[in-house]
Amino acid sequence: MLVNKAKISDYKIKKIIKHFCHDITADKTAGLTGMNRNTINHWYLVFRKAIYAWQHREFEQIFGEAEVDESYFGAKRIRGFRGKLKRGRGTLKQPVFGIFKRNGRVYTEIVPNCKKAVLQAIIKGKVDSSTIIYSDKWRGYDGLVDVGYNRHFRVNHGKNEFSKGRGIHINGIENFWSFTKRRLAKFNGVKRYFDLHLKESEWRYSREADDLERELWHIIKWYLN
């Protein structure tokens, strides 16, 4: 048994892991495996909590080249608010800040706002000053050179500029946002456990299901023992 308290066998847990890593929803997994929906929900939540802990544990400071960007998550309408919510900056949606290490992984953080003090505090804590940083023209990134990031390159999305050539773009982090929003749409936007789903998307991004499956078994054993 994976853990003494587990009420199902390792074989069944591995079956649930396989479906989870292929990003099959809990209700469909219950139908495909013949297991109780509550059992699947329980293990899916265990997996997400384990991945959340693992992502924090395994994070290493970013070196090399990194793209930074912010995005906004939430419903198009909320109760008590008239009209559609605005897209992008100034919205009532939840802001999230992301750092994409080129040829590497993504780091995300839920933030109260996307002001300069908030974003640059995260960058200084997570990104080595030798790193080449790419961003758009949002004022939250103004002054990065002044705090030690001497190689900071920007694209002006406001003028429909998405690449200056020579690798100056933020396509990697923007692809991650698109991937994450497509995933969350399957869960109706995820009102509960948004932080867990966000870290899960970090973990999943640009990886094959078979690789995720092998790693998740290792993560679960680490997390539960």
Average pLDDT over residues 15-20: 98
Given this model, what pLDDT does residue 84 score? 41
Average pLDDT over residues 2-30: 88
Average pLDDT over residues 176-201: 89
Average pLDDT over residues 134-161: 89
Tens of pLDDT, residue by residue over 103-147, are 999 999 999 999 999 999 999 999 999 999 999 999 999 999 999
Residue 162, Cβ neighbours under 10 Å: how many?
Answer: 14
Of the candidates 178, 141, 158, the one whose C-alpha atom is nearest the C-alpha of residue 67 is 141
The rounded distance, in Å, linking the Cα atoms of 155 and 148 is 20
Domains of the chain: 10-58+207-224 (no CATH), 65-198 (3.30.420.10)
**DSSP secondary structure letter of residue 62:** B
Q: With a cut of 80, say whether residue 160 has pLDDT above it.
A: no
3-state SS class at 87: coil
pTM assigned to the model: 0.86
Residue with tokens 């960007």: 69
